[in-house]
Structure 1
């Protein structure tokens, strides 16, 4: 009878979390839910957790190129609560949907680290192509797509077997950089040839090549899959393309060196980082114009929202910090010290948890 009550309590709490987010859950409740089985989404339930490795924790993972490690930032407190030693020059990180695994691209070692997020330990390094950089994971968590800056291939990693499982050839002279995946379409930016390749992941064939502005970087696809957002560093613009036709729909001026972009859930606004411009630009997508630029953000590289999109977190590769920005007031709030030359930033949060963080 007691076990049945525990299960009912855990289910009720899980439903409450889906509605209200992490602010409704205390540490004691989180511990009880994990012990009762709530929040476990597969895999080995006997994994030993560190305090920073709790599944219910809402965190950002930030790789440091210079120090070859990864900082774990607790979102509610804004504190660094853990770290993971990685290989040479880690750049970007992606999570499995269960948040139990993270994958980090190590540029100078040409590997991908597979990280257990509960123990904060690297379980395996998978060799891939030269200078791996951008990555995306398939929705079923089975295939990791890895762009290698130094050649023309996208490398496929079988996440179950934990080994390379083939390549996608983008053609002689192509250079892969960042990627975005929507349905069967993989969008790959080529920063040297000023293009975005659209690849059918089932056939592994390029179906469309989109000419872009100078030095396209971290491309993103809208939630409905209809628009492609391309920060063009060499032109200092955010370009917006139709994913159906590949035609340019609009071009918005931002700070020089446009690097990354996040788009609000309503599709009406965006924030663009500019690494060389040491700035971020708030953009009115509906009106097709810049709204405000925040400067004094050294090497503003990559950006991620919190779950409510009330804050944006920006890696500052020039000052070894993450800047926290109030997205409504459009002003910086604080800076968090992390490892040397921080690169990517990715949020870790189970579905339904972290809604108010």
Structure 2
């Protein structure tokens, strides 16, 4: 009997932990975060340290013009923390434990190592000119960094906190966005209109896939069989077979296709278009846009919440993050952040923040 009671208590405790912010209302979140209005209409936490709780479900958003990173609480949709960074931060990624984050600073040609509990930069690591896209190895030991202004992928040893070599893609190559699947590193080249496929074990170029004009934030399907390429110059979302590089389909979207997310069932893609100030919902089986959300100034990067019920998009033209209800396919919230927000990434431990 005593054993059964103990097991019941443990089960209840685990359900509360794993339910995370799903069990918390906006009012409760606001009280927990002790928010108050800040400059420029932002909500700033009076005790920033509370924003560093490991179990907090948040989005990190780097802003190029303010050289800072905004921490957004998912439940309250409030900016609860700010992290000063080097010049023109573009993208940010997390380690699998969510204890560390890494931000690429384009104008400083560095990568910032960030402690997500203290919300402080612990190290600045020099890399190539204008670092942009980044991806981290599954064991968290190696960071791959694309430098927009040259032909190399820079390797950063996260334990030693220093550059650990480069991967040369050849004279004239340009590196932009990265995605890693198994041993294959996919690299978009926005100037030469192609995607490079590199074996990270041998550091050798395996394949080159010609794409539409100005490929940007590429993605790979969960099974690794499809490569999704938003091509800004052709205003298209292109889908390729990763086995042989052949094109499956080419779908017209709003001008300046920038980034893409794909639902777990593989049926719907959501594409941002920076120059077109729009977000397109694409039905992948039919290859058609089923709805476009317009008037979204400089719609740049996009990230799902854990349940894919909401998509968060940075608007570099209006200094906001918009929240899109993916079921209703409409904008439901605007969150003011730093000037010219660029990338966006979710911080949530496995099992935490299920329905946020």
TM-score of the two chains, using structure 2 as the length reference: 0.90
The CA deviation at 1:14 is 3.5
Aligned to 2:32: none
Give a deviation string over 1:23-77, Cα, whole Å, max 9, x none.
2479xxxxxxxxxxxxxxxxxxxxx991000011000000000000000000001
For residues 222-237 of structure 1, the aligned pairs below 5 Å read 222-237=221-236
SS in structure 1 at match of 2:341: coil
Give the Cα–Cα distance (whole angstroms) in 1 for the partners of residues 97 and 279 of structure 2: 31
Give the Cα–Cα distance (whole angstroms) in 1 for the partners of residues 9 and 132 of structure 2: 43
Give the Cα–Cα distance (whole angstroms) in 1 for the partners of residues 225 and 183 of structure 2: 13
Aligned to 1:56: 55
Aligned to 1:92: 91
Distance 1:138 1:290, change over 3 A: same
Give the Cα–Cα distance (whole angstroms) in 1 for the partners of residues 175 and 191 of structure 2: 9
* Contact in 2 for aligned 1:17/1:25 (Cα 8 Å): no
Give the Cα–Cα distance (whole angstroms) in 1 for the partners of residues 193 and 298 of structure 2: 22
Give the Cα–Cα distance (whole angstroms) in 1 for the partners of residues 11 and 145 of structure 2: 37
* Contact in 1 for aligned 2:24/2:75 (Cα 8 Å): no
* Contact in 2 for aligned 1:68/1:88 (Cα 8 Å): yes
Distance 1:318 1:203, change over 3 A: same
- Structure 2: runs of 5 or more not aligned: 26-46
Give the Cα–Cα distance (whole angstroms) in 2 for the partners of residues 79 and 192 of structure 1: 37
Aligned to 1:203: 202
Q: CA RMSD in A?
A: 2.1
Aligned to 1:160: 159
The CA deviation at 1:239 is 0.2
* Contact in 2 for aligned 1:49/1:118 (Cα 8 Å): no
- Structure 1: runs of 5 or more not aligned: 27-47
**Alignment partner of 1:313 is 2:312:** yes
The CA deviation at 1:12 is 5.9
Give the Cα–Cα distance (whole angstroms) in 2 for the partners of residues 300 and 60 of structure 1: 16
* Contact in 2 for aligned 1:97/1:141 (Cα 8 Å): yes
The CA deviation at 1:16 is 5.9
SS in structure 2 at match of 1:50: helix
The CA deviation at 1:204 is 0.3
Aligned to 1:296: 295
Give a deviation string over 1:160-180, Cα, whole Å, max 9, x none.
001000000000000000010
Aligned to 1:13: 13
Give the Cα–Cα distance (whole angstroms) in 2 for the partners of residues 8 and 56 of structure 1: 23
TM-score of the two chains, using structure 1 as the length reference: 0.90
